[in-house]
Protein backbone atom coordinates (compact mmCIF):
# COMPACT_ATOMS: atom_id res chain seq x y z
CA UNK A 1 0.00 0.00 0.00
CA UNK A 2 1.07 3.60 -0.40
CA UNK A 3 1.20 6.75 1.68
CA UNK A 4 -1.38 9.51 1.79
CA UNK A 5 -2.20 12.82 3.38
CA UNK A 6 -5.76 13.68 4.25
CA UNK A 7 -7.93 16.27 5.94
CA UNK A 8 -11.62 16.77 6.54
CA UNK A 9 -14.01 19.65 6.78
CA UNK A 10 -17.20 19.50 8.74
CA UNK A 11 -20.05 20.83 6.75
CA UNK A 12 -21.41 18.47 7.85
CA UNK A 13 -19.08 17.00 5.16
CA UNK A 14 -15.48 15.76 4.72
CA UNK A 15 -12.52 15.31 2.32
CA UNK A 16 -8.80 14.46 1.66
CA UNK A 17 -5.88 16.23 -0.19
CA UNK A 18 -2.52 16.17 -2.37
CA UNK A 19 0.70 18.20 -3.20
CA UNK A 20 1.77 20.28 -6.28
CA UNK A 21 2.37 23.94 -7.25
CA UNK A 22 0.12 26.94 -7.64
CA UNK A 23 0.54 30.70 -8.00
CA UNK A 24 1.14 32.80 -4.91
CA UNK A 25 -2.15 33.84 -3.31
CA UNK A 26 -2.97 36.28 -0.54
CA UNK A 27 -5.88 34.83 1.53
CA UNK A 28 -4.78 33.42 4.91
CA UNK A 29 -4.01 29.79 5.52
CA UNK A 30 -6.34 28.07 7.96
CA UNK A 31 -4.88 25.52 10.33
CA UNK A 32 -5.03 24.73 14.06
CA UNK A 33 -2.62 26.72 16.19
CA UNK A 34 -1.26 23.56 17.79
CA UNK A 35 -0.18 22.29 14.39
CA UNK A 36 2.04 25.34 13.80
CA UNK A 37 4.64 24.39 16.39
CA UNK A 38 6.61 22.07 14.16
CA UNK A 39 7.75 22.13 10.57
CA UNK A 40 8.77 19.47 8.11
CA UNK A 41 6.95 16.25 7.33
CA UNK A 42 7.62 12.93 8.90
CA UNK A 43 9.81 10.64 6.85
CA UNK A 44 7.88 8.10 4.87
CA UNK A 45 10.24 5.41 3.70
CA UNK A 46 8.18 2.43 2.70
CA UNK A 47 9.22 -1.09 1.99
CA UNK A 48 7.79 -2.90 -1.00
CA UNK A 49 4.17 -3.89 -0.38
CA UNK A 50 4.18 -1.75 2.75
CA UNK A 51 1.12 0.23 3.87
CA UNK A 52 -0.13 3.12 1.81
CA UNK A 53 0.68 6.55 3.18
CA UNK A 54 -1.31 9.70 2.65
CA UNK A 55 -2.26 12.94 4.33
CA UNK A 56 -5.67 14.07 5.40
CA UNK A 57 -7.19 17.09 7.01
CA UNK A 58 -10.58 17.22 8.63
CA UNK A 59 -12.58 20.26 9.54
CA UNK A 60 -15.90 20.69 11.18
CA UNK A 61 -18.38 23.27 12.19
CA UNK A 62 -21.03 22.54 14.68
CA UNK A 63 -23.81 22.32 12.45
CA UNK A 64 -24.03 22.68 9.45
CA UNK A 65 -22.98 21.46 6.15
CA UNK A 66 -19.32 21.81 5.19
CA UNK A 67 -16.56 19.29 5.79
CA UNK A 68 -13.21 18.69 4.18
CA UNK A 69 -10.41 16.18 4.51
CA UNK A 70 -6.87 17.20 4.02
CA UNK A 71 -7.58 19.25 7.01
CA UNK A 72 -10.25 18.84 9.53
CA UNK A 73 -12.87 21.41 8.66
CA UNK A 74 -16.24 22.11 10.15
CA UNK A 75 -18.84 23.09 7.63
CA UNK A 76 -21.83 25.23 8.44
CA UNK A 77 -25.14 25.22 6.58
CA UNK A 78 -27.30 28.17 5.70
CA UNK A 79 -30.66 27.07 7.11
CA UNK A 80 -32.53 29.31 4.66
CA UNK A 81 -31.08 27.39 1.72
CA UNK A 82 -31.61 23.81 2.86
CA UNK A 83 -33.46 21.63 0.38
CA UNK A 84 -36.17 19.02 0.87
CA UNK A 85 -36.84 15.87 -1.12
CA UNK A 86 -40.28 14.49 -2.15
CA UNK A 87 -40.39 12.38 1.04
CA UNK A 88 -40.01 15.34 3.41
CA UNK A 89 -36.36 14.73 4.24
CA UNK A 90 -34.14 17.75 4.79
CA UNK A 91 -31.15 17.31 2.50
CA UNK A 92 -27.89 19.26 2.04
CA UNK A 93 -27.71 22.30 -0.25
CA UNK A 94 -27.08 21.69 -3.94
CA UNK A 95 -25.01 24.84 -4.48
CA UNK A 96 -22.02 26.34 -2.61
CA UNK A 97 -23.88 29.41 -1.33
CA UNK A 98 -26.05 27.06 0.72
CA UNK A 99 -23.08 26.52 3.02
CA UNK A 100 -21.96 29.00 5.65
CA UNK A 101 -18.29 28.01 5.66
CA UNK A 102 -15.86 25.54 7.15
CA UNK A 103 -13.37 25.30 10.01
CA UNK A 104 -10.18 23.34 9.65
CA UNK A 105 -8.31 20.70 11.58
CA UNK A 106 -4.91 19.13 11.24
CA UNK A 107 -3.54 17.69 8.06
CA UNK A 108 -2.91 14.03 8.87
CA UNK A 109 -0.76 11.27 7.44
CA UNK A 110 -1.64 7.57 7.27
CA UNK A 111 1.45 5.35 7.36
CA UNK A 112 2.07 1.78 8.48
CA UNK A 113 -1.45 1.46 9.83
CA UNK A 114 -1.25 4.61 11.96
CA UNK A 115 -2.65 8.14 11.61
CA UNK A 116 -0.51 11.05 12.84
CA UNK A 117 -0.37 14.81 12.40
CA UNK A 118 1.47 15.69 9.17
CA UNK A 119 3.84 18.36 10.46
CA UNK A 120 4.76 21.05 7.97
CA UNK A 121 1.49 20.93 6.00
CA UNK A 122 -1.63 23.09 6.15
CA UNK A 123 -4.99 23.49 4.46
CA UNK A 124 -5.64 26.59 2.35
CA UNK A 125 -8.80 27.83 0.71
CA UNK A 126 -9.58 31.36 -0.53
CA UNK A 127 -12.57 33.52 0.34
CA UNK A 128 -16.19 33.19 -0.73
CA UNK A 129 -16.87 35.27 -3.89
CA UNK A 130 -20.63 35.51 -3.53
CA UNK A 131 -21.30 32.30 -5.44
CA UNK A 132 -18.70 29.75 -4.27
CA UNK A 133 -15.36 29.21 -2.58
CA UNK A 134 -12.26 28.40 -4.62
CA UNK A 135 -10.98 24.80 -4.41
CA UNK A 136 -8.90 24.14 -1.32
CA UNK A 137 -5.41 22.68 -1.26
CA UNK A 138 -2.89 21.15 1.13
CA UNK A 139 0.42 22.98 0.99
CA UNK A 140 3.72 23.17 2.85
CA UNK A 141 3.86 25.70 5.72
CA UNK A 142 6.49 27.16 8.05
CA UNK A 143 6.55 26.97 11.85
CA UNK A 144 4.05 29.85 12.06
CA UNK A 145 1.61 28.14 9.73
CA UNK A 146 2.32 30.40 6.75
CA UNK A 147 2.66 29.01 3.20
CA UNK A 148 6.23 28.51 2.04
CA UNK A 149 6.96 29.95 -1.42
CA UNK A 150 9.76 29.27 -3.88
CA UNK A 151 11.99 32.04 -5.27
CA UNK A 152 9.67 32.04 -8.29
CA UNK A 153 6.68 32.94 -6.10
CA UNK A 154 5.10 29.50 -6.18
CA UNK A 155 4.34 27.26 -3.26
CA UNK A 156 4.47 23.51 -3.03
CA UNK A 157 1.14 21.85 -2.64
CA UNK A 158 0.05 18.27 -2.66
CA UNK A 159 -1.50 16.50 -5.61
CA UNK A 160 -5.13 15.67 -5.00
CA UNK A 161 -6.18 12.04 -5.37
CA UNK A 162 -9.93 12.42 -4.86
CA UNK A 163 -12.49 14.21 -2.72
CA UNK A 164 -16.16 13.97 -1.83
CA UNK A 165 -18.63 14.84 0.89
CA UNK A 166 -20.48 12.48 3.23
CA UNK A 167 -23.69 13.55 5.02
CA UNK A 168 -25.96 12.24 7.74
CA UNK A 169 -29.50 13.46 6.99
CA UNK A 170 -31.70 11.52 9.43
CA UNK A 171 -32.27 7.90 10.54
CA UNK A 172 -34.55 7.29 7.53
CA UNK A 173 -32.01 8.74 5.08
CA UNK A 174 -28.87 7.77 6.98
CA UNK A 175 -25.94 8.50 4.64
CA UNK A 176 -25.76 10.58 1.46
CA UNK A 177 -22.67 11.16 -0.72
CA UNK A 178 -21.72 14.12 -2.97
CA UNK A 179 -19.12 13.21 -5.59
CA UNK A 180 -16.89 16.31 -5.37
CA UNK A 181 -16.34 19.50 -3.37
CA UNK A 182 -19.73 21.03 -2.48
CA UNK A 183 -18.15 24.37 -1.56
CA UNK A 184 -16.48 25.08 -4.88
CA UNK A 185 -18.40 23.23 -7.58
CA UNK A 186 -20.07 25.48 -10.18
CA UNK A 187 -22.29 22.60 -11.33
CA UNK A 188 -24.62 20.49 -9.23
CA UNK A 189 -22.70 17.48 -7.95
CA UNK A 190 -23.83 13.92 -8.51
CA UNK A 191 -25.52 12.85 -5.27
CA UNK A 192 -26.49 9.36 -4.16
CA UNK A 193 -27.26 7.32 -1.06
CA UNK A 194 -24.46 5.24 0.40
CA UNK A 195 -24.21 2.02 -1.63
CA UNK A 196 -22.19 -1.18 -1.27
CA UNK A 197 -20.66 -3.22 -4.07
CA UNK A 198 -20.09 -6.93 -3.37
CA UNK A 199 -17.09 -7.94 -5.55
CA UNK A 200 -17.42 -11.59 -6.69
CA UNK A 201 -13.64 -12.01 -6.44
CA UNK A 202 -13.66 -10.97 -2.75
CA UNK A 203 -16.51 -12.80 -0.96
CA UNK A 204 -17.59 -11.11 2.25
CA UNK A 205 -16.02 -7.74 1.33
CA UNK A 206 -18.27 -4.67 1.36
CA UNK A 207 -17.00 -1.86 -0.90
CA UNK A 208 -18.52 1.54 -0.05
CA UNK A 209 -19.35 3.22 -3.37
CA UNK A 210 -21.35 5.81 -5.29
CA UNK A 211 -22.70 5.14 -8.83
CA UNK A 212 -19.56 6.50 -10.55
CA UNK A 213 -17.06 4.51 -8.47
CA UNK A 214 -14.56 2.38 -10.45
CA UNK A 215 -16.17 -0.95 -9.52
CA UNK A 216 -15.27 -4.15 -11.31
CA UNK A 217 -17.63 -6.67 -12.87
CA UNK A 218 -20.34 -7.88 -10.55
CA UNK A 219 -23.83 -7.30 -9.19
CA UNK A 220 -25.50 -3.90 -8.99
CA UNK A 221 -24.51 -1.95 -5.85
CA UNK A 222 -27.12 -2.18 -3.11
CA UNK A 223 -28.05 -0.72 0.26
CA UNK A 224 -26.74 -3.55 2.41
CA UNK A 225 -23.30 -4.95 3.22
CA UNK A 226 -21.85 -8.20 1.86
CA UNK A 227 -21.59 -10.41 4.96
CA UNK A 228 -23.52 -11.17 8.11
CA UNK A 229 -23.09 -9.09 11.27
CA UNK A 230 -19.85 -7.17 10.54
CA UNK A 231 -18.04 -5.98 13.67
CA UNK A 232 -18.20 -2.40 12.34
CA UNK A 233 -21.99 -2.30 11.79
CA UNK A 234 -23.63 0.26 14.10
CA UNK A 235 -20.35 1.85 15.22
CA UNK A 236 -19.18 2.78 11.69
CA UNK A 237 -21.97 1.92 9.25
CA UNK A 238 -25.63 2.42 10.29
CA UNK A 239 -27.43 -0.77 11.27
CA UNK A 240 -29.91 -0.08 8.47
CA UNK A 241 -27.28 -1.50 6.09
CA UNK A 242 -27.03 -4.97 7.66
CA UNK A 243 -27.54 -7.89 5.25
CA UNK A 244 -30.84 -9.77 5.86
CA UNK A 245 -30.16 -12.44 3.23
CA UNK A 246 -26.96 -14.22 4.26
CA UNK A 247 -25.24 -16.00 7.12
CA UNK A 248 -21.88 -15.90 5.32
CA UNK A 249 -18.99 -14.36 7.23
CA UNK A 250 -18.19 -10.70 6.71
CA UNK A 251 -14.51 -10.09 5.87
CA UNK A 252 -14.20 -6.32 5.92
CA UNK A 253 -14.97 -2.86 4.57
CA UNK A 254 -13.23 -1.37 1.51
CA UNK A 255 -14.03 0.84 -1.47
CA UNK A 256 -14.01 4.64 -1.67
CA UNK A 257 -11.51 5.86 0.93
CA UNK A 258 -13.18 9.28 1.40
CA UNK A 259 -16.50 7.59 2.14
CA UNK A 260 -14.95 5.31 4.76
CA UNK A 261 -13.09 8.22 6.38
CA UNK A 262 -16.27 10.28 6.35
CA UNK A 263 -18.14 7.50 8.14
CA UNK A 264 -15.38 7.41 10.75
CA UNK A 265 -15.60 11.17 11.27
CA UNK A 266 -19.19 10.86 12.55
CA UNK A 267 -17.91 8.80 15.49
CA UNK A 268 -17.83 11.84 17.79
CA UNK A 269 -19.73 15.11 18.11
CA UNK A 270 -18.67 17.71 15.54
CA UNK A 271 -16.52 19.74 17.91
CA UNK A 272 -14.24 16.80 18.71
CA UNK A 273 -14.85 14.38 15.86
CA UNK A 274 -11.71 14.48 13.76
CA UNK A 275 -9.02 14.86 16.39
CA UNK A 276 -10.57 12.39 18.83
CA UNK A 277 -11.40 9.84 16.16
CA UNK A 278 -8.17 9.79 14.18
CA UNK A 279 -5.52 10.97 16.67
CA UNK A 280 -6.93 10.05 20.08
CA UNK A 281 -6.61 12.20 23.18
CA UNK A 282 -3.08 11.47 24.36
CA UNK A 283 -4.18 8.67 26.66
CA UNK A 284 -5.52 6.61 23.77
CA UNK A 285 -4.67 6.13 20.11
CA UNK A 286 -6.98 6.90 17.23
CA UNK A 287 -9.82 4.49 16.55
CA UNK A 288 -8.64 3.37 13.09
CA UNK A 289 -5.28 1.66 13.32
CA UNK A 290 -3.58 -1.42 11.91
CA UNK A 291 -6.54 -1.96 9.60
CA UNK A 292 -9.16 -2.31 12.37
CA UNK A 293 -11.91 -0.01 13.64
CA UNK A 294 -11.37 -0.09 17.41
CA UNK A 295 -14.59 1.45 18.66
CA UNK A 296 -17.94 -0.09 19.53
CA UNK A 297 -20.22 2.83 20.43
CA UNK A 298 -22.84 4.21 18.06
CA UNK A 299 -21.76 7.40 16.23
CA UNK A 300 -22.47 10.62 18.12
CA UNK A 301 -22.31 12.89 15.09
CA UNK A 302 -25.40 11.74 13.19
CA UNK A 303 -28.52 13.85 12.74
CA UNK A 304 -30.95 12.35 15.26
CA UNK A 305 -34.22 12.95 13.41
CA UNK A 306 -35.75 14.47 10.28
CA UNK A 307 -36.28 17.68 12.28
CA UNK A 308 -32.53 18.33 12.44
CA UNK A 309 -30.29 19.83 9.76
CA UNK A 310 -28.08 17.42 7.79
CA UNK A 311 -24.53 17.05 9.07
CA UNK A 312 -21.55 16.29 6.93
CA UNK A 313 -17.84 16.07 6.21
CA UNK A 314 -15.89 17.04 3.14
CA UNK A 315 -13.01 14.61 2.66
CA UNK A 316 -10.09 15.35 0.38
CA UNK A 317 -7.22 12.89 -0.14
CA UNK A 318 -3.77 13.82 -1.41
CA UNK A 319 -0.60 12.03 -2.38
CA UNK A 320 2.33 12.40 0.01
CA UNK A 321 5.25 14.25 -1.66
CA UNK A 322 7.64 12.67 0.84
CA UNK A 323 6.91 9.18 -0.45
CA UNK A 324 6.75 9.46 -4.22
CA UNK A 325 7.53 5.76 -4.76
CA UNK A 326 4.49 4.42 -2.93
CA UNK A 327 2.11 7.34 -2.43
CA UNK A 328 0.74 7.15 -5.97
CA UNK A 329 -2.70 7.01 -7.54
CA UNK A 330 -2.03 3.39 -8.53
CA UNK A 331 -1.16 2.36 -4.96
CA UNK A 332 -4.19 4.17 -3.55
CA UNK A 333 -6.45 2.53 -6.11
CA UNK A 334 -5.09 -0.86 -5.05
CA UNK A 335 -5.63 0.08 -1.41
CA UNK A 336 -9.30 0.90 -2.06
CA UNK A 337 -10.30 -1.89 -4.47
CA UNK A 338 -7.77 -4.68 -3.95
CA UNK A 339 -7.33 -4.58 -0.17
CA UNK A 340 -9.32 -4.09 3.03
CA UNK A 341 -9.56 -0.72 4.80
CA UNK A 342 -11.34 -2.06 7.90
CA UNK A 343 -11.04 -5.78 8.73
CA UNK A 344 -13.72 -7.54 10.70
CA UNK A 345 -12.80 -8.35 14.28
CA UNK A 346 -13.70 -11.97 14.98
Is 8 among the domain residues?
yes
Is 298 among the domain residues?
yes
Is 263 among the domain residues?
yes
Is 176 among the domain residues?
yes
pLDDT in tens, 111-124: 888 888 899 999 88
User: Structure pTM?
Assistant: 0.83
Positions of the chain with pLDDT lower than 70, given as ranges? 1-3, 9-82, 270-273, 282-283
Is 294 among the domain residues?
yes
Domain range for 81 is: 3-186+257-339
Is 222 among the domain residues?
no
Q: How many domains does the chain have?
A: 1
Is 224 among the domain residues?
no
- The set of residues, in sequence order, having a beta carbon less than 8 Å from that of 250 and lying 6+ positions away, is 204, 206, 225, 226, 227, 228, 229, 230, 231, 344
Closest-CA residue to 286 (of 114, 112, 77, 111):
114
Is 235 among the domain residues?
no
Amino acid sequence: MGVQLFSATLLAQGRLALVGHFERAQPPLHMPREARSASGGEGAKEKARGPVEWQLALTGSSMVVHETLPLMLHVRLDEDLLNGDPWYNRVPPTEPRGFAGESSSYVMRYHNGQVKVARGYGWWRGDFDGAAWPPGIICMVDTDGNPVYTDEGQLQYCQRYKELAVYSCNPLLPIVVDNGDPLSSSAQLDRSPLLFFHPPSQPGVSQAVHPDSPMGQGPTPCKYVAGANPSWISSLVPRTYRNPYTTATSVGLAGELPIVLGLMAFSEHASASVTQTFLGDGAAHGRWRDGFWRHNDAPKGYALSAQEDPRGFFISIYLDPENTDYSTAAHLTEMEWGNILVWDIK
